[in-house]
Structure 1
Amino acid sequence: MDEGKTLRRGWTTGACATAAAKAAYAALVHGDFPDPVTIRLPGGETPAFALARAELMEGGALAAIVKDAGDDPDVTHGALILVTVRPLARGAGLRFRAGPGVGTITRPGLPLPPGEPAINPGPRAMIRAALEEVSPAPDAEVEISIADGERLAERTLNGRLGILGGLSVLGTTGIVIPYSCAAWIDSIHRGVDVARAMGIAHVAGSTGSASEAAVRKLHGLPDVALIEMGDFVGGMLKYLRRHPVARVTVAGGVAKMTKLAQRRLDLHSKRGEADLGALGALLPDVALAARIAAANTVAEAFQIAEAAGQPLGDAIAARAWAVAAEALVPAPTELEIVVFDRTGRLVGRADFAAVGHSPSLPLKRR
């Protein structure tokens, strides 16, 4: 991505489905497909969408739109969103159905109950409003499909959330803001919600696949207890503060956990690298501290310290615990920090303790 480049915004799956639904319903009511079709988003914007397909058929109408997510690396960018609208008996109201490529909810804790199609409340409201522009009090079945959606869903967290058979139809504003990471943070929140609804008392957030595999093995946790927080440790902890569980483990590699120990709640590289000088200062040996400060990476710094018989892991875990606990207070939660190297070996740990009661060294404020 070029620095300084103005990134182009795109449209959510929910906005595309709304436009396709409006076009199909208009064809049912008036006999013609509006192309392009204009919708009104919750914020007042009125984008227009070109139709990729438009078919009147016996018992319904189908319209399809190719999703444009702008410059965001969205898994559904370029996907074909198809909506079939079928008339229902007068007074039946509006019903939603998952077509091929759209998932079905199978676990509690999500915004809709198990058995419902994974079409979120935001898109449902947008679709209802769009159809009411065509004709008040619509009585219709709206079936949403996403071409190749079941395969695309394998690249999302849907399976872990209990959304099976395809993708979710998402979007509260209708607009995709490039690199906002809103969808990732939302998936963290939904993961916590599902775990709580299923009575899971211990969840573990991990920074990546290696630390997730390691913490799963360490505690024998089921999939539903594993939260793929990535760099958004702050986003996970602040949500858990408001929606607590009994036990929380934060797991990560040496570099990410060093950043957390240095009071970073967003661990992305764009927020800055770990301070190797501060890392070396944790050791009493001045010469060794200087070598660590001059290391190329945090991983190399850990190797230098371990070779000298001065493991850093527990010290980093203790300081990371203090930072994470501060974000969790006053949740009635016990917190643990575990630090793994690239092979999945446990190299640092701050054991479970109630937040507000540090299990080890106090946090040094700089």
Structure 2
Amino acid sequence: MNTEYKKGRGAQEREANHFLEYSHELRDDFLNHCTTVNEEPQSTKTHYISTFPKTIVNKVTSPDVGMMYSMNPYQGCEHGCVYCYARNSHEYWGYGPGLDFEQKILVKKNAAELLEKKLRSKSWKAETIVMSGNTDCYQPAEKKFEITRECLKLFLKYKHPVAIITKNALIQRDLDLLKELQKDNLIAVNISVTSLSEETRRLLEPRTVSIKKRLQTIEVLSNAGIPVNAMLAPIIPGINSHEILSLANAVSNAGATSMAFTVVRLNGAIGRIFTSWIKKALPDRAEKVLHGIEACHGGTLNDSRFGVRNRGEGHLADQIHQIFALAKKTYFKDTSRPKLNKELHVQYKTGQMRLF
């Protein structure tokens, strides 16, 4: 096994797609040849692949994720977070959940067109649509394609509630639209802050913005009157579990109006990807971390049970919950997330307000 750590990437291997009949294998003789001729055995570039789906708004059937509808302008994510649950979904598009997930980004070129069709549909009744239910709508691709911005313009035009989940400061680019949406209570933002350590951030989330920039983003949005929920997620035993109180303090000082957390779970291929990563990135504590995760999920890295999978169970998970409860009582006492306005949309369904 190659023990060299690939900087700038979360996944350390090009994990095979288990739905495909054939897979590629990097043989030692080929790797030796590449070394001899000074060539990279695999491309390290990010590729943007244009797609034109038939629908963009997805009904969320999982009862424990806190959203009814989501939309994702992009599939795959260059942020490269090694723990990302969305990695498994990349296999449904014919790619692998490892390096493919970070390097082969599907760009839904007709997302805005599909969204407008949905919002104008006579049968559609306004419910909050969450951008980034799967992959980050402000990942690096957004700077080039601006699909998220075009969709926000439509939410504003049709006075429709929208929530955003991101860990990228690029959201500040769209502050003009967010302010207009907030005037009618149509926007809520969730900013993910996983650690206060830049070293930890670079390892876990290699292509995301710095923690300082993320906290500054919370501050900018909050100062503009936009409600921000800080997502302290995922909590990983032995990596960031000791930071819960300091994280809560930091996001509170930055102006977040609420916070939430999840306990890490490593379903499907993510368990193999994470294990490979930690043995290269943090070999001295790899076993401790893996055993800690297993202790939160009944002795396994995997847990698909609704209501339990994101919370964990057992003694260690209970400790995490207790610390989080203390953090919430200390820094977010009597706070709650806003309920967005669903009443205006029916008046603007045609794109214009009705006179009567």
- Is the TM-score greater than 0.5? no
TM-score, normalising length: structure 2: 0.26
Greater relative contact order structure (CA < 8 Å, 6+ sep):
2
Which protein shows a greater Rg?
A: 1
TM-score, normalising length: structure 1: 0.25
